[in-house]
Each structure stands twice: as C-alpha cells, then as structure tokens.
A and B are shown apart, each in its own frame.
With several copies, the nearest count.
Chain A
Amino acid sequence: MSRTQRRGPDKRRGPVKRRGPIQSRGTVTIDVERCKGCELCIPACPPEVLVMSTRRNSMGAEYPELEPGCTGCGACLLVCPDFCFEIFRYEEPVLHEASA
C-alpha cells in the first residue's frame, strides 16, 4: 500500500464531524482569489479542518474554508500550487464552539 493511499480514500469529501468545543492552536489565511480549486490542500491537512466551499471566486473556482481545529502545521501551505496560504500559530490556543 502506498503512502498516499494510507491517508484513506474519503478525505477530500471533508472532515468528519466532531462534538464539543474545538481548540485551534493555529490558523491560516487563504488568498481565495488566487485559488484554482485543485483541492490538494484538503487531504493534506492532518486535522482535516479544510473544506471546499460551495462558493466560487471570480475565476470560477471553489476554494477551501477553514473549520476550527487548525494546528498551524503548514501542510496546506506546502502543497498548495498557488501560494494561497499563510500560517499562524496562536500564542494561546483558541476555542471554538463546534457546529451541530
């Protein structure tokens, strides 16, 4: 089994829903106008907090959105071919209320 397969086939469908308040140790900025909607960042995110939006940018591309739980690991930045991400690590983790 290959390295990429190991990550599981369902990853680009979006994160598994979790319950309770979620802690973000980091966050990202996304230059959505530059995004071409390739979805490479989605499975690259270890905590699976990136999800493709249903909206489109002015080039017509769907782009990723961030759900709570980012660790600031930077994987998304590394894999993005369009230089969309900037990574931040919080001095103090930030807590979010999870969605229903």
Chain B
Amino acid sequence: MSGDDNRTRFVVRTDRVPEQPASRVGEQRPGLLRSEDHDLCPGCGEPVALRMLLEAIEELGLGQDSIGVVGIGCYTALTTLMDIDLIQALHGRAPSVATGAKRMRPDKLIFTLQGDGDMVNEGLQEVIHTAARGESVTCVLLNNGVFGETGGHMTATTVIGQRTKNTPEGRDAGYHGHPILVTDIIAGLGGTAYAARCGVYDAAEISRTRRILRRAFETQQKGVGFSFVEILTMCPTGWFVPTAEGPEYLDQVLGSVHRLGEVKVDGKLVQS
C-alpha cells in the first residue's frame, strides 16, 4: 500500500485458518519440503522452481525412489529443505555424478539441480556428454543468467542486453560474446529424449514448469534416453532490479532469447 492511501481498509485476517467452513487447497508446502526456512534473497525464483520440482516428484509418487545431485550456486542452500536423498556435487560436476548413481541404481529417479554458472560455465561438457551418451537421468537447470552466489556476474547464458555485475550497461555481443542456448544444444543430441524450457515468472508458467518436470521424469522412467529441463528463474539481486520487477525482466529479457516451450519430446524435435 503506497503512502498516498491512508484511508482505512478492510483487511481479512490471514494469521490463522478461516473460521467459516473451508477446505484447504493444496498444501502450504510440498510434502517433500523438509523446512521452508531459507536465506535466499527476496524475490528469488529458485525456491519457486524447487517447489515445482518437489511437487512433480511427489505427484509421481517417487519421493522414496529419487536421488538428487545438486550443483554449487545459491540453490545449494536449498538442499537442507529437500526431503529427498541427495548427493552434493562439486561446481559443474553433477551430470557425471548422476551418471554414476544411475548406473548403480537404475531403478531410481536420478536428477541434477544446477545453475547456469554451474552447468553452462564450469561444467558445460558434462551435461553435453551425458546427454549424448543417452544417460537415463534428468538434468534440471535453474537459469538466471548470472552467478547469483558470487555476486551476480555474467555467465555463458546471459542474454545480450542483460544487466549483471560486470555488464552494468547490459551484455554486449561484441565485447562479451553471445549467450549459449543450452536447451537447444541438448535437444540436438542423439541421446536426448526430452528437452524443454520453462520459467517461474507467473502462476501459469509455474504450473507448466511442474508439468514439464513431470514429463521429463516420466521420460527417464521409460528409459528412452536423457531428459532435460531448463527453468528460467529471477535473480533480482544479480540483475540489480527491484524484486517486484523480476518476473517481467525474466520474461522479457531472458525469455525472449531462451524461448520457452518443449523442444524435444519422445526423441523428436517439436520446435523449429
């Protein structure tokens, strides 16, 4: 409520469950969330993506049949929230770790959770090799176009014009080079069965994120090849934008280059 509006308002009590007969719609927190307490910045998109990830696993009933492999970035701090068996990988190395785990536990859902810095900078070849090998794992990329954790510098996915700590005027193709559209590369590989890109900038797209994650996991369960989900997430801190402008910036700036939608389904390219 901005300061120009000092009139009394009618506010509904929200500090306790309603007195009138009502049914709870969904859970406040997914069943696989062990705690909701985290130190990520206000307006960060990563916890939102995490919720969808956990819900997708829950929907498939795989909470007790999953191993996650987590990279190093802000989302690493979310591992204490995840009520799933996890392996903490080094920066960039999650896809190989997932490979080793899958080969020894072929009956489990094995997924990675990595950021763009982790996956597209430090460990780009890991995910490409894993996909080409047709490894039956799912790699999940949280792409905010910055190294959030270390202060918001440009990554290999930062789109032209995007503000970061070291591109305060926006990334310039001539000086800083071009972004890598990793989902498109992954989708082009023979071993990839499923690849899609989604975002967490509004409720509808967030719901789609869950559906896409589900389809990726189902692909893994079918054993037909590698599956990949890129989720665009807000990093207002690294972008130096107010938290409330995060979703719009995500959609317009990042989303216009990293185009959303399914790119490969059942081993076939579905987008041009």
List chain A positions with a Cβ less than 8 A from chain B: 2-5, 7, 12-14, 24, 26-32, 34, 36-40, 42-44, 51-54, 61, 65-68, 70, 72-75, 77-83, 85-92, 94, 96-100
Contacts and interface: CB of A to CB of B under 8 A. Distances in A.
Interface string B14-52: 111110111111111100010011101111111110010
Contacts of B236: 38
Given A65-B11, A99-B9, A100-B8, A78 B42 contact: no
B3 interface: yes
Contact of A32 (B8, B15, B23): B15
A80 to B, nearest CB: 8
A50 B128 CA distance: 44
B202 A30 contact: no
Contact of B11 (A31, A39, A66, A88): A66
Contacts of A38: 42-44, 236, 243-244, 246
A77 B251 CA distance: 20
B26 A30 contact: no
B22 A91 contact: yes
Interface of B: 1-3, 5, 7-12, 14-18, 20-29, 33, 36-38, 40-48, 51, 200-203, 205-207, 236, 243-244, 246-248, 250-252, 255-256
A90 B22 contact: yes
A40 B244 contact: yes
Given A5-B252, A61-B42, A90-B22, 13 more contacts: A24-B12, A27-B18, A30-B15, A38-B44, A40-B244, A44-B203, A53-B1, A67-B12, A70-B12, A77-B26, A79-B247, A81-B46, A88-B17
A86 to B, nearest CB: 4
A88 to B, nearest CB: 4
B11 A67 contact: yes
Given A36-B42, A79-B203, A98-B10, A14 B243 contact: no
B243 A40 contact: yes
B202 A4 contact: yes
A74 B18 CA distance: 15
Determine the main DSSP class of A at the interface with B: mixed
B237 to A, nearest CB: 11
A26 to B, nearest CB: 7
A72 B256 CA distance: 31
B36 A34 contact: yes
Nearest to A75: B203
Nearest to B206: A78
A75 B202 CA distance: 8
Contact of A91 (B21, B26, B45, B51): B21
Nearest to A62: B1
Nearest to A81: B47
27 contacts: A4-B247, A5-B248, A5-B251, A12-B244, A14-B1, A14-B5, A26-B22, A27-B14, A38-B42, A40-B246, A43-B244, A44-B202, A51-B1, A65-B1, A65-B14, A67-B9, A67-B12, A81-B42, A81-B43, A81-B44, A86-B17, A86-B28, A87-B25, A88-B23, A89-B22, A91-B21, A96-B10
